[in-house]
Amino acid sequence: MTAAMHRFALISLPLMTLALSVGCGAGADGIDPSTVPASVASATATRVEIVEINQTDANIDLTLPGEVMGGRDAVLASGLGGIVERVRVSEGDTVTAGQILIQVDSEAYAAQRDQVEAQLRLATSDLERMRQLGDLATPQQVEQAETQVAVLQGQRRGVMSQLRQANVTAPFSGTIGQLDLEPGEFAAPGTPLVRVVQLDPVMIDLTVSDRDRSALSVGDMVAVSASGTGAIYQGVVQHIGPAADLRTRSFPVEVSVDNPEGVLLPGMIASVRVRSQVGEGALVIPQDWVVTKMEGPGVFVDVDNVAQWRDLELGAVIRDQVIVLGGLSVEERLIMNGHRELADGDELLVVREGVCCEGGRAVFGGQL
């Protein structure tokens, strides 16, 4: 055999082998389908991640900054003004409701009171004598005496009102928070003179965003801590504003905290922790897993590696989660990633599987 014939034989043998393989059932692309692993999905399948749906509890954990305020807080002034005669308290003193704190021109008003009361006693005595005279006193004389008594009674009420305004009194029991005043100074009408603060209980002022508003209700128990103290205090939500601030879209909230030792002081920065359970044994999923279409919200589930659409009935929104009231069942395989590129009936290539949910997050292989 010549060298040329030998090279032809070497080339022809592989070609004949290829021709035989094509004739024995190979595909048009030359690959035998029987040799392709069954686990390899179609090239058109969409890669997705899925989670098995289980019932869970929907909780909200919030930590909100606030400021310690007095349970009641009043800045007091003299309504009429005048010379400060006496300052009866000092900063830090504990006072009771009705206690006189500062006297402003009270002696002058007290003298007017004494004068009017003396005149009133005399007029009252004259009226009694007129009535005892019977027919000897004319109706005009009796009427005149009655009028004099009524006028003096009115004057007495007016002087007593002035005296009350001259004496600055505590409107409630509390502590003197601020006082910068000396006897002999002139206090103009309405000028702030003293601040009275109630320190037990204190109030924590804070705000809550509109998305977290559902986490709070009046009467809820919360945990409170404050700068400068290492203790945790129990507080109660006393008030939630009915309308949000138009600039911040947040709602004002007041939390009451018992403060028998007076450790929490007005002006301290506080931290309020709220844990609220808004759904027990419910189907709760992250909002991002929901697809919104023109006909309504829904999700895609995996059924034998094929995407199927489920219309959903949704309940309360809890921050970034939502409660599912209908349309989804326990143990269904919900598609959480890759779902926005799907259409009903699409083939799926599942690349990761997990369980829903813990703390609003899927769990994969024991890891969040």
Residue for token pair 């003396």: 118
pLDDT at residue 318 is higher than 90: no
- Per-residue pLDDT band for 5 (boundaries 50, 70, 90) equals very low
Question: Is 299 in contact with 290 (CB distance < 8 Å)?
Answer: yes
DSSP summary character for residue 25: T
| CB-CB contact of 25 with 251 (8 Å) | no
Q: Dump pLDDT digits (tens) for 261-272.
A: 889 999 899 999
Q: What digits encode the pLDDT tens for the residues 161-191?
A: 877 777 888 999 999 988 988 888 888 888 8
Closest CA to 349 of 302, 309, 310, 290: 302
Q: What's the residue count for the chain?
A: 368
Q: In the numeric block, which tokens belong to residue 297?
A: 């919200």
Please give the angle made by the CA atoms of 199, 79 and 69, to the nearest 5 degrees. Answer: 20
Task: In whole angstroms, give the CA distance from residue 222 to residue 211.
Answer: 18
Q: Please state whether the predicted TM-score (pTM) of the whole model is above 0.85.
A: no
On the CB side of 137, CA atoms within 13 Å amount to 17
My answer on whether omega of the bond before 201 falls inside 30° of 0, hence cis, is yes
